Amino acid sequence: MKTLNDFNFENKKALIRVDFNVPLNENFEVTDATRIISAKPTIIKILEDGGSCILMSHLGRPKGFQEEFSLKHIAKKVEDVLGVEVKTVADCIGDDVEADAASLQPGQILLLENLRFYKEETAGDKDFAEKLSKLGDIYVNDAFGTAHRAHASTTIVAQFFEGKKCFGSLLAQEIESIKKVMETGEKPVLAILGGAKVSSKITIIENILDKVDHLIIGGGMAFTFVKAQGGKIGNSICEDDKMPLALEILEQAKAKNVQVHIPVDTIAADDFSNDANTQVLDINEIPDGWEGVDAGPKSRAQFHDVVMQSKTILWNGPLGVFEMESFANGTIELGNSIAEATKNGAFSLVGGGDSVAAVKQFGFEDKVSYVSTGGGAMLESLEGKTLPGIAAILE
Ligand code: AMP
């Protein structure tokens, strides 16, 4: 696995695929610079080697050239984060861009225009990728967020850099973290899967049953398992058509010696709103008119014990409707337990969608070992897929 350390970038132009798909407000100001900050170590390392950086990214989903999706809007923010001047150019391929790239001096940065102004980008067009490849000497992929896409700049372009391509430090860190859970994790290994739907997590569950010792199934998706086992779940969310699969998963887990932990109680609400009436109920005794919206006290205590026993922890998906303050406590307590286990030496990885939002919202970001920057890319990795953007560097 080639990383930045395998190259000396002195007098070299690095063509770096970053993920600068950041949120902007109505004045086109960056409202969350996490993705820019995450790319900083790679860019600075190359500049310190005496190289120059050509940064390429997409922003949003433009249809052709659309000013509101211009990467020029974010150039100032990139400059502030990096502390280095950032030159911009009005395109991402073509003669002018090639001339600008060619005149780049060591220590300088050029930010290309939005790759998705060309439909060839998402189509994975080879000619377009070849045009991009003319801009740099070494290709660096540091965009985990798009590594599951076989787009021109994330995957196809790598074909033109044989022996001259590597992972940036962010992408390398993401790969390492997943490996630490899925391959080399110290036992006992625990996966916590929460969130709304079983259907979106099935492939993950099936893949991780071979890797983990404990599996916590929490959040809304637990109700499909509870109902499948004959429990009364009232108005709780449930995917009836997935009930046979839920039973099958439990069978598989037993056969593979994986201990499955399903909540035993729940905070039930009489309405899907923050100021609904609530009561604590056994998870399989929820009357009609009530729905489970958060983990109950016994379940929280049980999950705490499992977390504290574990040496490797993967967390994907909240334990309740954490967006509503009244139903966030189960998720917060779980975050606290994971933080404590991490302090005691466990490795903890949080990844994929809403658990990342929860971790940030409740301030656990620095208390877990690693928070993944990729939603879909993380989920596909947990499903056991080799991401095209990663495979293209390894080839
Ligand atoms: P996912 O994207 O599958 O990880 O699901 C995240 C969503 O699951 C969040 O928006 C939560 O509000 C939701 N969720 C978690 N627990 C429940 C529950 N008991 N009932 C309804 N929605 C839930």
Per-10-residue mean pLDDT of the chain, 395 residues long, equals: 96 98 95 94 98 98 96 98 98 98 98 98 98 98 96 98 98 96 95 93 93 97 98 98 97 97 98 98 98 98 98 96 97 97 97 83 93 89 94 95
Q: Report the SS3 class of residue 371.
A: strand
13, 35, 180, 300: which one is catalytic? Answer: 35
The answer to whether the beta carbons of residues 159 and 129 sit under 8 Å apart is yes
Atom 6 of ligand 1, nearest CA residue: 195
Alpha-carbon distances, residue 208 vs 172, 191, 205, 383 (angstroms): 21, 8, 5, 8
Query: How far does residue 293's CA lie from ligand 1's centre (Å)?
Result: 8
The response to whether residue 292 sits with its C-beta less than 6 Å from ligand 1 reads: yes
197, 232, 311, 367: which one is catalytic? Answer: 197
The answer to whether the beta carbons of residues 65 and 28 sit under 8 Å apart is no
Beta-carbon contacts of 240 under 8 Å, excluding residues fewer than 6 positions away, are 224, 227
Please report which helix (H) or strand (E) contains residue 370, including its range.
strand 370-371
Can you state the angle between helices 34-49 and 169-182, rounded to 10 degrees?
A: 120
Amino acid letter, 58 = H
Distance CA 171, CA 380 (A): 15
Alpha-carbon distances, residue 128 vs 157, 189, 199 (angstroms): 8, 44, 36
Residues listed for the chain: 395
35 is an active site residue: yes
pLDDT value of residue 356 = 83
The response to whether residue 220 sits with its C-beta less than 6 Å from ligand 1 reads: yes
Supply 15's token pair: 């063509």
222 Cα nearest atom in ligand 1: 19
Amino acid letter, 183 = E
330 beta partners = none
Supply 271's token pair: 């309405």
Alpha-carbon distances, residue 343 vs 153, 213, 347, 357, 369 (angstroms): 39, 21, 9, 21, 9
Distance CA 78, CA 64 (A): 24
Query: How far does residue 238's CA lie from ligand 1's centre (Å)?
Result: 11
The response to whether residue 193 sits with its C-beta less than 6 Å from ligand 1 reads: no
Query: How far does residue 220's CA lie from ligand 1's centre (Å)?
Result: 5
The response to whether residue 353 sits with its C-beta less than 6 Å from ligand 1 reads: yes
195 Cα nearest atom in ligand 1: 5
Supply 300's token pair: 């929280």
136, 351, 353, 389: which one is catalytic? Answer: 353
321 Cα nearest atom in ligand 1: 12
316 Cα nearest atom in ligand 1: 4
Atom 15 of ligand 1, nearest CA residue: 320
376 is an active site residue: yes
pLDDT value of residue 243 = 97
pLDDT value of residue 184 = 93
Supply 64's token pair: 């052709």
Supply 94's token pair: 């073509």
317 Cα nearest atom in ligand 1: 4
- DSSP designation for 3: B
Reference 342, options 190, 183, 184; nearest CA is 190
SS3 of the chain: helix, strand, coil, percent, to 5:
45, 15, 40
The answer to whether the beta carbons of residues 373 and 35 sit under 8 Å apart is yes
Q: In sequence order, which ranges of the chain are alpha helices (DSSP H)?
A: 34-49, 72-82, 95-102, 119-123, 126-133, 169-182, 202-208, 222-228, 243-255, 297-309, 329-343, 354-361, 376-382, 388-394
Alpha-carbon distances, residue 113 vs 88, 158, 278, 323, 328 (angstroms): 7, 19, 51, 35, 40
Query: How far does residue 266's CA lie from ligand 1's centre (Å)?
Result: 14
197 is an active site residue: yes
The answer to whether the beta carbons of residues 181 and 302 sit under 8 Å apart is no
- DSSP designation for 93: S
Q: In degrees to the nearest 10, what's the CA dihedral of 242, 246, 251, 255?
A: 110
Atom 11 of ligand 1, nearest CA residue: 321
The response to whether residue 168 sits with its C-beta less than 6 Å from ligand 1 reads: no
Pocket test for ligand 1, best of 205, 321, 327 (most atoms within 8 A of CB): 321
77 is an active site residue: no
Supply 315's token pair: 């967390």
The response to whether residue 339 sits with its C-beta less than 6 Å from ligand 1 reads: no
Query: How far does residue 197's CA lie from ligand 1's centre (Å)?
Result: 7
